Structure 1
Amino acid sequence: MDAALIAVAGTLLGVVFTHWFQGRATERTAALARSEQLRQERIATYSAFAGAVVDYRHSQNDRWFRAVEEPGSEEAEESRYASYRQRTAARQALFRVQLVCDDPETRRLAEKAFEETHCMHEAVGTADRARRSEQAKEALARFVAAAAPGVR
């Protein structure tokens, strides 16, 4: 009888420990899956933001050149409206970055990259436009450098 009780107790103890270890393994697997999904989301979001800012910077340069070459022309106006559309796309991408990024410094750098690009059309003269364009490019590079470790 004692041997039977010991066998039943051992079996029950084994079941309890197995259940506990499997529960922990399941929790670790779920946490890893959530972490990987967030990493993939960040890669997609940060890449989309960088692409939108590059497109916005390009449209801001085009807007500036067309406004200088032929102020008030149809091409200058179309370029201005195109830059508005690119600004909207870049701002939407910025909002997505703000939603998935948990690092305040990376969010600040994303906002700075957007703002530097936004101010490009206010340039006075070719040298100022080139300087502002370079500042926007550098601000985006700083964002990418700060975001990269978060997606590795």
Structure 2
Amino acid sequence: MDVALIAVAGTLLGVIATHWFQGRATERTASLARTEQLRQERIATYSAYAGAVVDYRHSQNDRWFRALKEPGSEEAEESRHASYRRRTNARQALFRVQLVCDDPDVRRLAELAFEEAHCMHEAEGEAERARRSAQAKEALAVFIAAAAPGLR
């Protein structure tokens, strides 16, 4: 009788231990899956944002050159409207970055990259435009460098 009770108790302890370890393994697997999904989402979001800012910066340069070449021309107006569309795309991409990024410094750097690209068309001369373009490019590079470690 004692042997049977010991066997039943051992079996119950084994079942409980197995259940506990399987539960922990399931939680760990689910956590790893969530982490990987978030990492993939951040990679997609950050790269889409970088592309949108590059397009916006390019359209701002185009806007500046067309306004310099022929102020008020149809091409200058078309370029201005194209830069507005690119700004909207970049701002939407910035909102997505703000939604998936949990690091306030990276969010701040993303906002700075957007603002640097935004100010380019206000340049007074070629030297200032080139400087602002370089600043916008550098701000985006700083954002990418800050975001990259969180993606590994």
* TM-score > 0.5, shorter chain as reference: yes
Q: Which residue of 2 aligns with 1:86?
A: 86
- Report the identity percentage: 86
| 2:55 is aligned with 1:55 | yes
Q: Which residue of 2 aligns with 1:151?
A: 151
Q: Which residue of 2 aligns with 1:23?
A: 23
Give CA-to-partner distance per residue, 1:5-35, whole Å, 9 cap, x none: 1000100010000000000000000000000
State how far apart, in whole Å, the 2-side matches of 1:4 and 1:126 are. Answer: 92
Q: CA deviation at 1:47?
A: 0.1
| 2:46 is aligned with 1:46 | yes
Q: Which residue of 2 aligns with 1:116?
A: 116
Q: CA deviation at 1:85?
A: 0.2
State how far apart, in whole Å, the 1-side matches of 2:6 and 2:68 are. Answer: 92
| Alignment-mate amino acid for residue 117 of structure 2 | T
Q: CA deviation at 1:71?
A: 0.2
| Alignment-mate amino acid for residue 148 of structure 2 | A
| Alignment-mate amino acid for residue 38 of structure 2 | L
Q: CA deviation at 1:58?
A: 0.2
- Length-normalised TM-score, structure 2: 1.00
- Equivalent pairs, count: 152
| Alignment-mate amino acid for residue 108 of structure 1 | R
| 5+ residue gaps, structure 2 | none
RMSD across aligned C-alpha pairs, in angstroms? 0.3
| Alignment-mate amino acid for residue 138 of structure 2 | E
State how far apart, in whole Å, the 1-side matches of 2:116 and 2:10 are. Answer: 69
| 5+ residue gaps, structure 1 | none
Q: Which residue of 1 aligns with 2:69?
A: 69
Q: CA deviation at 1:65?
A: 0.1
| Alignment-mate amino acid for residue 135 of structure 2 | Q
State how far apart, in whole Å, the 2-side matches of 1:59 and 1:97 are. Answer: 21
Q: Which residue of 2 aligns with 1:101?
A: 101
